[in-house]
């Protein structure tokens, strides 16, 4: 199989020299936080299978939901036809989401949830006669997916620069990176937030008439390097967006469903966006599904008027897939039945203890240990005190990735940033074991 894998399969983010030295790991079984390869070796899934898996692999409630729905009916078109899992899930999402988001538009993955949000916002302003509002603000270091709209609002040059000729123009603003804070008080955080807000305020004074929306990953910018951001930034942004008639689009594709310790990351700031993008953990990471939620005001501007094109011309073949919706509903039931958000608080504290009490912080090449809920990260430097990076040719992150397998860890460093994105089934014991194993990996690679 592995020979055929090399021969026939084009995996995402591959043909990257470092990551392709080895064969892919052939997975045969998955249970809870563990993946097992074809040789029976066991690995901690420390990144929740690309931040998707929520309750651990193979949860019985999820499996049962799939079987039950498949027994009733499989995929059907979601236009003109509807079904109970899609309806009930929409109702549950509206109940759970930050207030004011009353309509649910389904699509298939995080990128499409973002495409829907951008097109929805753009078309809304066209429809209400604000036709100059055509541009989006996005943040340096942001990641919203790999389709062209999502790439247009992506802030990581490495991923996006090549495609510039195909992209629409927007305004890239600095991110309020908490690593720049002098301390850990709210005042320190507010300084970082205000520094990042200053150019946004300036732009809006001059150009608000040109701007449809601003898209952010609330509290935690994932793929751009696990950048944690202050709640103050979001509360102020909410005020700015309301004052200047701009949509606040929260991309919670990655942070949604408990990752940051609350159901949605927006809750840390007590704000509601105008549009909310969800995917990944929506189905507990088991089936592809996404949802873009919006306010009644936005929905009301669209009419089912084919001739005048006032309807929302957007729909994917697999939209609202019933099996995926049934799984998402089962996942939300697990949240309730197992009181997941309460239960994980213990694990979150165990993670904090492991990160700060394990000797990790004392290592001369470790800096910026940071955590939000069950997500944690730290950066590796040649000299952590002076923040002197490793020369890129040393490819430290890649070496850590490689050595992780030997220690039974699936780690996926972002450059020289090591992170965990743990499933909610992780126990305090798992967390401490994962950090101990990581220390052994670091020791092996960096001495
Ligand atoms: N938004 C965010 C914040 C993400 O982290 C990701 C994926 N990492 C996406 C959008 C895109 O999701 P998908 O890969 O499912 O298209």
The span from the CA of 313 to the CA of 414, in Å, is 36
Q: What is the pLDDT of residue 442?
A: 97
Confidence grade of residue 358 (pLDDT, cut at 50, 70, 90): confident
Backbone angles phi, psi at 424, to 5 degrees: -70, -15
Tens-digit pLDDT profile for residues 91-135: 999 999 999 999 999 999 999 999 999 999 999 999 999 999 999
The span from the CA of 90 to the CA of 20, in Å, is 41
E strand or H helix at 201: helix 186-207
The span from the CA of 64 to the CA of 67, in Å, is 5
Whether 308 and 325 map to the same domain: the answer is yes
The CATH number assigned to the domain holding 39 equals 3.90.1150.10
Q: What is the pLDDT of residue 18?
A: 59
Look at strands 42-45 and 135-139 and give their pairing.
Answer: unpaired
Region 10-31 average pLDDT = 80
Question: Bigger pLDDT: 187 or 422?
Answer: 422
Whether 156 and 93 map to the same domain: the answer is yes
Compute how many other C-beta atoms are within 10 angstroms of the C-beta atom of residue 189: 20
Strand order in the sheet with 27-31: 27-31, 34-37, 42-45, 409-410
Region 55-67 average pLDDT = 97
Tens-digit pLDDT profile for residues 171-223: 999 999 999 987 778 899 999 999 999 999 999 999 999 999 999 999 999 99
Region 232-247 average pLDDT = 98
Q: Which atom of ligand 1 is nearest to the CA of 290?
A: 15
Whether 149 and 282 map to the same domain: the answer is yes
Whether 82 and 162 map to the same domain: the answer is yes
Q: What is the pLDDT of residue 293?
A: 98
Q: What is the mean pLDDT of the chain?
A: 95
Ligand 1 centroid–CA 305 distance in Å is 32
Q: What is the pLDDT of residue 19?
A: 59
Does the C-beta of 114 come closer than 6 Å to ligand 1? Answer: yes
Region 223-238 average pLDDT = 97
Q: What is the pLDDT of residue 309?
A: 74
Ligand 1 centroid–CA 55 distance in Å is 19
Residue 418's beta-bridge partner residues?
Answer: 378
Q: What is the pLDDT of residue 102?
A: 97
Backbone angles phi, psi at 257, to 5 degrees: 65, 50
Whether 142 and 269 map to the same domain: the answer is yes
Q: What is the pLDDT of residue 161?
A: 86
Domain boundary among 321, 337, 353: 337
Domain boundary among 288, 310, 337: 337
Whether 163 and 50 map to the same domain: the answer is no
Region 246-272 average pLDDT = 98
40, 323, 339, 406 from 332: Cα distances, Å: 32, 14, 10, 35
Q: What is the pLDDT of residue 15?
A: 66
Tokens of 446: 């960096």
Residue 251's beta-bridge partner residues?
Answer: 277
Whether 323 and 406 map to the same domain: the answer is no
Question: Do the Cβ atoms of 446 and 395 come closer than 8 Å?
Answer: no
Question: Bigger pLDDT: 394 or 226?
Answer: 226
Does the C-beta of 279 come closer than 6 Å to ligand 1? Answer: yes
Q: What is the span of the domain harbouring residue 110?
A: 63-337
Ligand 1 centroid–CA 147 distance in Å is 10
Query: Is the predicted pLDDT of residue 140 greater than 90, yes or no?
Result: yes
Q: Which runs of consecutive H residues, i.e. helices, occur in 9-109?
A: 48-51, 60-72, 84-96
Whether 196 and 78 map to the same domain: the answer is yes
Annotated binding site for substrate: 50, 143, 280, 315, 412
Compute how many other C-beta atoms are within 10 angstroms of the C-beta atom of residue 22: 11
Whether 191 and 300 map to the same domain: the answer is yes
Task: Give the count of domains, the chain.
Answer: 2
Residue 221's beta-bridge partner residues?
Answer: 227
Does the C-beta of 253 come closer than 6 Å to ligand 1? Answer: yes
Region 362-375 average pLDDT = 97
Atom 7 of ligand 1, residue of closest alpha carbon = 145
Coil, strand, or helix at residue 138? strand
Whether 227 and 279 map to the same domain: the answer is yes
Q: What is the pLDDT of residue 182?
A: 78
Domain boundary among 295, 318, 337: 337
Confidence grade of residue 20 (pLDDT, cut at 50, 70, 90): low
Q: What is the pLDDT of residue 17?
A: 61
Question: Bigger pLDDT: 160 or 21?
Answer: 160
Is the pTM for the entire model greater than 0.95?
A: yes
Whether 50 and 86 map to the same domain: the answer is no
Ligand 1 centroid–CA 133 distance in Å is 25
Region 317-331 average pLDDT = 97
The CATH number assigned to the domain holding 265 equals 3.40.640.10
Whether 125 and 177 map to the same domain: the answer is yes
Look at strands 42-45 and 34-37 and give their pairing.
Answer: antiparallel
The span from the CA of 175 to the CA of 217, in Å, is 10
The span from the CA of 86 to the CA of 98, in Å, is 20
């Amino acid at each position: 199989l592995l020979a055929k894998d090399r021969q026939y399969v084009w995996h995402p983010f591959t043909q990257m020299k470092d990551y392709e030295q080895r064969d892919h790991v052939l997975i045969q079984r998955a249970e809870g936080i563990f993946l097992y390869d074809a040789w029976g070796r066991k690995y901690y899934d420390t990144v929740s299978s690309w931040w998707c898996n929520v309750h651990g692999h193979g949860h019985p409630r999820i499996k049962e939901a799939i079987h039950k729905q498949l027994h009733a009916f499989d995929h059907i078109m979601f236009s003109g036809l509807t079904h109970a899992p899609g309806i009930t899930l929409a109702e549950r999402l509206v109940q759970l989401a930050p207030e004011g988001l009353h309509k649910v538009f389904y699509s298939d993955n995080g990128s499409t949830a973002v495409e829907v949000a951008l097109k929805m916002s753009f078309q809304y302003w066209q429809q209400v006669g604000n036709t100059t509002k055509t541009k989006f603000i996005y943040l340096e270091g942001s990641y919203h997916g790999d389709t062209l709209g999502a790439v247009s609002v992506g802030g990581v040059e490495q991923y996006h620069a090549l495609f510039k000729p195909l992209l629409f123009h927007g305004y890239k603003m600095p991110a309020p990176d908490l690593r720049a804070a002098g301390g850990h008080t709210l005042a320190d955080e507010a300084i970082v937030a205000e520094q990042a807000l200053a150019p946004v305020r300036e732009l809006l004074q001059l150009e608000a008439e040109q701007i449809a929306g601003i898209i952010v990953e609330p509290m935690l910018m994932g793929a751009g390097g696990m950048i944690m951001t202050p709640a103050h930034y979001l509360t102020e942004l909410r005020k700015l967006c309301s004052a200047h008639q701009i949509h606040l689009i929260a991309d919670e594709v990655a942070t949604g469903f408990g990752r940051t310790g609350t159901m949605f990351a927006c809750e840390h700031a007590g704000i509601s966006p105008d549009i909310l993008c969800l995917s990944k953990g929506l189905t507990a990471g088991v089936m592809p599904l996404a949802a873009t939620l919006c306010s009644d005001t936005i929905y009301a501007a669209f009419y089912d008027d084919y001739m005048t094109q006032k309807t929302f011309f957007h729909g994917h073949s697999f939209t609202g897939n019933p099996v995926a919706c049934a799984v998402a509903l089962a996942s939300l039931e697990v949240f309730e039945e197992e009181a997941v958000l309460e239960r994980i608080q213990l694990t979150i504290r165990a993670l904090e203890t492991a990160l700060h009490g394990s000797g990790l912080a004392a290592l001369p090449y470790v800096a910026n240990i940071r955590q939000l809920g069950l997500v944690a990260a730290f950066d590796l430097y040649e000299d952590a005190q002076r923040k002197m990076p490793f020369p890129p040719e040393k490819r430290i992150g890649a070496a850590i990735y490689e050595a992780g397998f030997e220690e039974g860890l699936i780690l996926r460093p972002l450059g020289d940033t090591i992170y965990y994105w743990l499933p909610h089934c992780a126990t305090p014991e798992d967390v401490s074991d994962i950090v101990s194993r990581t220390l052994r990996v670091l020791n092996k690679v960096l001495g």
